[in-house]
């Protein structure tokens, strides 16, 4: 495990129980509901979540009646998810332990921004591999007006990308059919969300 991944695990192991009680927030609630509406409308039956955390989104997805699978780097997160009755696995976004075309859709929020170097490219390619053609991938990350990287006081690594850079990376996976941003800060930081139909 890399130093970056090790520090992420250490950080989230310490705070995962508290994170389990944290509200999702209005915007994320709205996006998750819209994602599930699309899943139902398209007749999708399986969803993988990369970065399942404490299972806050996973429980909602599973209750929607689709087969849910979660993956997280942090063992404490997977343990919490399993305690909620969710199918969850310890693993890396860059090496998904699933077969090709195993899922109809993927959901990953606030996870891929922690990958250094070109690892986000690898993670997106992995999502493309495990989600069938015509399937749906929804991605949310913290980005910025300009690309950059930093490590916070808790030891977590972040890699931000501009909207255009993120769109370009997603276009390698499929058609970006929706892209939005919110929670803008004076330093240019903002949340980026995208919906991609896998090509």
d(CA 87, CA 131): 17
What is the share, in percent, of the chain residues with pLDDT greater than 70?
100
Is the pLDDT reported for residue 161 higher than 90?
Answer: yes
Instruction: Tell me whether residue 125 is in a domain.
Output: yes
Instruction: Tell me whether residue 59 is in a domain.
Output: yes
| pLDDT the model gives residue 45 | 98
Average model confidence (pLDDT) across the chain? 96
**Which residues, listed in sequence order, are joined to residue 68 by a DSSP beta bridge?**
47
Q: What tokens were used for 36?
A: 């599930």
Distance from first CA to last CA of the chain, Å, rounded?
32
What is the domain extent for residue 66?
3-131+150-159
| Nearest one of 105, 107, 116, 127 to 172, comparing CA atoms | 127
| pLDDT the model gives residue 93 | 98
Instruction: Tell me whether residue 80 is in a domain.
Output: yes
Residue 70: C-alpha distances to residues 58, 171, 199 (Å): 7, 24, 23
Instruction: Tell me whether residue 175 is in a domain.
Output: no
- Chain Cα centroid distance, residue 115: 11
Instruction: Tell me whether residue 41 is in a domain.
Output: yes
pLDDT tens, position by position, 20-69: 899 988 999 999 999 999 999 999 999 999 999 999 999 999 999 999 99
| pLDDT the model gives residue 17 | 87
pLDDT band for 191, please (50, 70, 90 cuts).
very high
CB 62 within 8 A of CB 31: no
Instruction: Tell me whether residue 174 is in a domain.
Output: no
pLDDT band for 171, please (50, 70, 90 cuts).
very high
| pLDDT the model gives residue 156 | 96
Instruction: Tell me whether residue 23 is in a domain.
Output: yes
d(CA 53, CA 117): 23
Q: What tokens were used for 29?
A: 């609630």
Q: What tokens were used for 131?
A: 């989600």
d(CA 96, CA 89): 10
| pLDDT the model gives residue 1 | 78
Is the pLDDT reported for residue 160 higher than 90?
Answer: yes
Q: What is the mean pLDDT of residues 160-167?
A: 97
CB 90 within 8 A of CB 73: yes
DSSP structural state of residue 113: G
Q: Say what angle helices 26-42 and 56-63 make with each other, to 10 degrees.
A: 30
Q: Is the dihedral of CA 106, 92, 17, 183 positive or negative?
A: negative
Total domain count, the chain:
1
pLDDT band for 76, please (50, 70, 90 cuts).
very high
Is the pLDDT reported for residue 100 higher than 90?
Answer: yes
d(CA 97, CA 133): 19
Instruction: Tell me whether residue 19 is in a domain.
Output: yes
CATH code at position 124: 3.40.50.150
């Amino acid at each position: 495990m890399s130093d970056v991944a090790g520090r992420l695990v250490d950080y989230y192991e310490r705070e995962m129980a508290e994170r389990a009680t944290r509200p999702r927030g209005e915007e994320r609630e709205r996006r998750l509901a819209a994602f599930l509406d699309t899943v139902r409308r398209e007749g999708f039956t399986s969803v993988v979540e990369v970065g399942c955390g404490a299972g806050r989104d996973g429980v909602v997805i599973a209750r929607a009646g689709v087969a849910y699978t979660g993956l997280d780097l942090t063992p404490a997160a997977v343990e919490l998810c399993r305690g909620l009755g969710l199918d969850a696995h310890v693993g890396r976004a860059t090496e998904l332990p699933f077969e090709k075309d195993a899922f109809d859709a993927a959901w990953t929020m606030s996870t891929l921004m922690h990958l250094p170097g070109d690892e986000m490219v690898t993670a997106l390619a992995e999502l493309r591999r495990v989600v069938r053609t015509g399937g749906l991938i929804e991605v949310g990350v913290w980005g910025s007006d300009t690309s950059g990287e930093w490590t916070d006081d808790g030891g977590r690594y972040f890699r931000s990308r501009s909207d255009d850079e993120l769109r370009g990376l997603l276009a390698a996976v499929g058609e970006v059919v929706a892209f939005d941003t919110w929670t803008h800060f004076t330093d240019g930081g903002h949340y980026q969300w995208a919906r991609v139909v896998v090509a």
